[in-house]
Structure 1
């Protein structure tokens, strides 16, 4: 991560700490774990929610996700401008992740194999969290995966929402060398 990207991240965090939720971007090990959990590879479509300065995006690309198979949804205008320069072939939408279903369909996608989230879901009101997670599963293929990281010890999706949506949570990995340490969780639909 460049000094300019770190500076941009800290500036955006100072401006809106609850939306950015961390004072530092995700570390490289966490980003690689997110990409592995998503099962990235050629021909697999991925929607990324809240990519920020793009460290997870870079890991998705390094794992084989092509630009045309990547749709990023970023609310912050400064982050969106930065991402547009870094990933010119990918689709970038400056918008709200609660509108994922409309955004995906408006861009001509029938769906995707993975939704990877860098959003601070755990800090969101349940109603907002529900709109994001429901929306993600509305665009995922039946065997698709929702990937989310957290700094806490528990699943980053509300247990009531997990029950209501019939999801199967699994801690995919724990990254002790991230600052702060983080866990990557995957969520699949129960059959």
Structure 2
């Protein structure tokens, strides 16, 4: 996921659903400056733990459906990547749409939405992909993961 997000110290990253932080650690290990990382976690205990583990990053206890408001309230107009570990594929279309629309509302024009999934297909509903004019691409297949997983990227079509 960190490779798909093209981590560098100057790129701003938003992580949705960091949970216990394995992707967070990978983002930081791949060069993201903690000051350029904003995490949105719904579970208060996870958010508190992430704040302790990564005191120089920003952790928000909040709902990913409100990503636009959260990012704006932290003084960012845009970010370069939104990295998501949320189970989008299992969410109702209305919730999935709010999260994905919100992510693209804060992404820079050339930004990327990176999504982890266990499903064999793109984890964003095909109708939503069409409506938002997105280009999905399977970035990586992780066969050693149990169950096997994929990392997908989504970009705006020109």
**TM-score in same-fold range (> 0.5):** yes
Alignment of 1:79-158 (within 5 A): 79-158=46-125
| Structure 2: 5+ residue stretches without partners | none
Aligned equivalents of 2:153 and 2:78: distance in 1?
18
Structure with bigger strand share is 2
User: Aligned with 2:4: secondary structure?
Assistant: helix
TM-superposed CA distance for 1:41, in Å, is: 0.8
In the alignment, does 2:136 pair up with 1:169? yes
Aligned counterpart in structure 2 of residue 188 of structure 1, from 129, 141, 155? 155
Aligned equivalents of 1:140 and 1:178: distance in 2?
29
CA RMSD of aligned residues (A): 0.5
| Structure 1: 5+ residue stretches without partners | 1-33
User: Aligned with 1:183: secondary structure?
Assistant: strand
TM-superposed CA distance for 1:161, in Å, is: 0.2
TM-superposed CA distance for 1:62, in Å, is: 0.4
User: Aligned with 1:137: secondary structure?
Assistant: helix
Moved over 3 A (4+): none
Please report the TM-score for the alignment, with normalisation by the length of structure 1: 0.82
Give the count of matched residue pairs: 158
Rg larger in 1 or in 2?
Answer: 1
Please report the TM-score for the alignment, with normalisation by the length of structure 2: 0.99
Structure with bigger helix share is 1
In the alignment, does 2:28 pair up with 1:61? yes
